Amino acid sequence: EIVLTQSPGTLSLSPGERATLSCRASQSVSSSYLAWYQQKPGQAPRLLIYGASSRATGIPDRFSGSGSGTDFTLTISRLEPEDFAVYYCQQYGSSPKHTFGQGTKLEIK
């Protein structure tokens, strides 16, 4: 079973700054199978990035994904107030079918 470890656990930044979130896999993951989600309090998760680097429909271009193998990154180029939330990476596999990282909380500094 592949384990996804996200870092940092909490990231404190100000609007306008750049955010870099990390997701490390315990084994190599196909880039096609790595996604990122955003979850705001009281809301369901929303898909941001799929295939490691493709933005989902309607996602602003300040969000970008990169990486391969065991190291993946979600970057938010210039933080907007609405970007402060919890972010999860997710890997599609065989069994379990979907594995999530533990999440990174992006909070306002």
Q: Site residues (CB under 8 A) for another protein? A: 32-33, 35, 37, 39, 43-47, 50-51, 56, 88, 90, 92, 95-103
- Please say which residue, 10 or 32, places its beta carbon nearer to another protein: 32
| 30/55 Cα distance (integer angstroms) | 17
CB of 51 vs another protein, minimal distance in Å = 7
How far apart are CB 60 and another protein at their closest, in Å? 16
Task: Report the SS3 class of residue 107.
Answer: strand
